[in-house]
Amino acid sequence: MPNRIWLRRAGDLAAIAVPTLIFAFAPSFEGNTLLLVNMMVYVALAQGVNVIYGFTGYLPFGYVGFFGAGAYGTYIAVAHLHVGALVAVILGGLFSVVVAIILIPLLRLQGAYFAIASLAAALVLSALIGNPDLKSITNGPYGADLSKIYSVNGSYYAGVVLVAFALIVVVFLQRSRFGLSLRAIRADQTSASMAGINVVLMRSIAWLLSAAIAGFAGAVYAWALSVFYPDAVFATTISLFAIVFALFGGVGSTLGPVIGAVVLYEVYNSIGVSQPQYFQLIYGALIVAVAMFLPGGLASLVGPRWRQWVTKRFGRNPGEPLPAGDV
């Protein structure tokens, strides 16, 4: 039924355009652009976790490694290659993809093994980059200075593009054959492989996409901060926040992680900055509650009702992709 297909296309377009446009025009309502940049960075990171965890089932505790790699890739590009801001941000994101290629063997591990191994890899990367012996390349623990390319507007709109990029990737996964393959692998690896899906290749591509999102997020963050230290871009809390935001919003959905990130980052901003321990208490308890009682996150409250309404209004569509599995 053409109606149904057009409705879905319009919905996908809106899912990409609405959050992007809201962020594009947000500076007219909110004067604190650094706050907005942080929020966009976390929206992207939550989507990055969504890509790798929501579609393949790998929970990366060390996700921050890609973020830090993106930030430092940008610094290295500016300090040693003397390139302009945009090229530096792109190289930063690509540096993170290179790191992800090196770490592909981690995908041989599963579950908690993978989660903790990825954390170990991020800590190794952080210790490498912050090592005083590598001062000539990364400036070690003494911090990276990007003031040469500083630009409030530039970094802000790079953040808007970042949000759009993350959303496009997720919508692509929701609708494409590739995304369907990933979900098939997640549901049953053996059967998927029997059906002719190249399990290793598909997974690796999802891993690289997820790393690219985190890498660009790190690059944008670095550009906006201008001066930063290894501890700031490799903080374990960045991984934790991204995972919590994604789970709270609902992994496997398109807009869940966006809403999760915006809502929880707002909560963090109002109480977490001055009293981080209370925010940690809230999100810790929230995660236990979500895992026990609402495994699909916020999105599972809305999603089924929306689908029901569409079905009632426009009729059933046999081509509807499989709903994402629960957490």
Partner 1 sequence: MPRIMFLYALIAGILLGFFYALMSLGLNLGFGVLQVVNIAHGDIVVLGAYIAYELSSKAHLNPLLGMLLAVPPAVILGLLIYYAIAPALGKSADPEMLSLILFFGISQVIEALETVVFGNNQKTISASSFGSGPVHILGQAIPREYVLAALVSIPVIALVFYYLYRSRLGLATRALMSSRDDAMAVGINVGRTSAISFGIALGLAASAGALSNFILGGTNPTQGVDITTTAFAVIIIGALGSPAGTLVGGLVYGLTFQFAQTYAPSWANLVPYLLLLIVMLVKPTGLVGKRVRYA
Candidates 5, 17, 101, 124: give the one binding partner 1 (CB under 8 A): 124
Residue whose CB is less far from partner 1, 91 or 182: 182
Q: What is the rounded distance in angstroms from the CA atom of residue 152 to the CA atom of residue 33?
A: 8
Which tokens hold the place of 3? 């109606």
Question: One symbol per residue from 253 to 292: x for binding partner 1 (CB under 8 A), - otherwise; what is it?
Answer: -----------------------xxx-xx-xxxxxx--xx
Assigned token pair, 4: 């149904």
Q: What is the sign of the dihedral through the CA atoms of 288, 43, 33 and 20?
A: negative
Contact between 1 and partner 1 per CB under 8 A: no
Measured distance CA(319)–CA(299) in Å, rounded: 21
**Contact partners, residue 76, CB within 8 Å, separation at least 6:** 95, 137, 138
CA dihedral 130, 132, 138, 141 (to 10 degrees): 50
Distance between first and last Cα of the chain: 32
**Shortest CB 282 distance to partner 1, Å:** 8
Check residue 59 for interaction with partner 1 (CB under 8 A).
yes
Does residue 111 belong to the site contacting partner 1 (CB under 8 A)? yes
- Which residue in 9, 108, 305, 313 binds partner 1 (CB under 8 A)? 108
146 scored as a contact of partner 1 (CB under 8 A): no
* Residue found under tokens 């907005």: 36
Could you say which residues in the range 174-213 bind partner 1, by CB under 8 A? none
In angstroms, how far is CA 291 from the centroid of its own chain? 20
Residue 119 binding partner 1, by CB under 8 A: yes
- Rounded to the nearest whole angstrom, what is the least distance from the CB of residue 222 to partner 1 in the complex? 23
- CB of 283: closest distance to partner 1 in angstroms? 6
Pick the closer one to partner 1 by CB: 55 or 165: 55
For the chain, how many residues are written? 327
Contact residues for partner 1, defined by CB under 8 A: 57, 59, 105-106, 108-113, 115-117, 119-121, 123-124, 127-128, 131-133, 236, 240, 243, 247, 276-278, 280-281, 283-288, 291-292, 295, 325-327
